[in-house]
Chain A
Amino acid sequence: METLHNAKVMNRFDLTKRLVAKLKDEAVIGGIGNSNFDLWASGHRPQNFYMLGSMGLAAPIALGFALAQPQRRVFALEGDGSLLMQLGCLSTIATRAPRNLCVILWDNGVYQITGSQPTPAATARTDFVAIARASGLPQSHWAADEAEFESLVDASLAGEGPFFIGVRVDSQPAVAQPERDPSRIRDAFMRGVGSKG
C-alpha cells in the first residue's frame, strides 16, 4: 500500500488546472475555501459548483448529484480539514458505490484559510487514503507525483468508480475567488448540467 509519506507535496492550483484540462461535460463540486477558489481560477465551466459554506459537504453533494445523473461523471474537490469533519460520508459513498463519482482530497495538513493551524489528522499522521479504503472504497490511492495524479484522473474518467484520489499539496493560497452569490452559482450550475433552463 502506498503511504501518505511517500507522496510528493504538489501544488493544488497546478493540479486543479491539470484536472480541468481533461474535462468535457463532467460536473465538479468545489469544496469550501481554496478547493473551489482554485477551481474557479482554473477557468470557469458551466458544470462547476462552488460551495461557499457548509464545510464538509462537497463529497455528499457530489454523491447526491451522482445518483441524480448516473450518466454524467462528477468530481468532488475536498480539503483534508473538511473531510475530517464528515468522514462518515465515505461509508455512505461506499454503500451506494456510484460508478460515476470521484473524490479528490487536497491534503495540506492545515486549516489554511483560518491561519494554517495544523489539523488533528496532520498532527496524528492520519492517512486519509487508508481511511477511504477501510471505509469500503478499494479504488483509493495517493498520487505519488503529478504524472500519477494525471493517470489516476484518466482512470477515473474511463473506469467504474467510486474513486478516491489523495493528493498532498503545499499551502499556496488561491489566486482568485468566485463571486459570492450562492443562488446565482447554483442556478448557473443547474443550467450547466441540464437540470434547468
Chain B
Amino acid sequence: MAEAAMTWHGVITEVLRRSEVRLVTYVPDNVLRPLIGEIEADPFFTAFPVAREEEGVGIVCGAWMGGLRGILLMQTSGFATLANVIASLPCAAQIPMVMMVSERGTLGEFNLGQALVCRTMRPVLDALAMEHHTVTRLDETEFTVERTLRQAFATQAPACLILSPLLTGGKTVKA
C-alpha cells in the first residue's frame, strides 16, 4: 500500500476502491470526517448523506440487488436505530449490507447517552449472528476491512466494521 495511504482513512478508502465498493452512504459523524472527505473527493465513489441510517440500509440493499456494491457509514447511536431493518432485510434476504460504525461511548466518552447506547451495539450484532470486527490498529486495518468485505460479498451476509477510538482517536472534550 502506498505511503500516502497510511492513515486509517486513507487505508479504508483504498480498500473500498480495490474491493469495488462504489456506493457510500453515510449519516455524518465527526470522527468519520476525514474518511468521508477522501471518499467524496474521489470520483470513483458515488457518495452521499442520507437522512436516517435505516434509509441507508435500504439504499445499499437495493443497490446490491442491482449489481452495485455499497457500504453505510454511521456512528454508534445511528446503529442503535437499525435492529428491525437489519433483521428483516439483509439478514432475512441474505444481502451483504456492510456497515462501518465510528465507535462512540467508550474510551473517553463525554456524553452519557452515547456511553449507554454503545452497550447495545455488540449484543445486537451477536443476537443477529452478524460477522463484526473492531478495528483498533492501523497495521491491521487493511487486512480486517478487506477480508470482512470479501467474506460479506462471497457469503451474501451482512457485516459490521467498528472503528475504535484506538484507531481513529475518537471524539473527546476537555473534562
Contacts and interface: CB of A to CB of B under 8 A. Distances in A.
B23 A186 contact: no
A174 interface: no
Interface residues of B, number: 32
A182 interface: yes
Contact of B55 (A27, A60, A69, A194): A60
At the interface, is chain B mostly helix, strand, loop or mixed?
helix
B95 to A, nearest CB: 6
B36 to A, nearest CB: 15
A92 B46 CA distance: 13
B88 interface: yes
A185 B68 CA distance: 18
A83 to B, nearest CB: 12
Nearest to A183: B94
B32 interface: no
Given A182-B92, A185-B93, A186-B94, A64 B63 contact: yes
Interface in B35-75: 46, 48-52, 54-68, 70
Contact of A89 (B51, B68, B92, B95): B51
Contacts of A190: 65
B87 interface: yes
Contacts of B61: 57, 61, 64
B59 A64 contact: yes
A49 B64 CA distance: 13
A144 B43 CA distance: 43
17 contacts: A54-B89, A55-B84, A59-B58, A60-B55, A61-B62, A64-B23, A64-B64, A64-B70, A67-B59, A86-B52, A88-B52, A89-B55, A183-B93, A186-B94, A186-B95, A193-B66, A195-B67
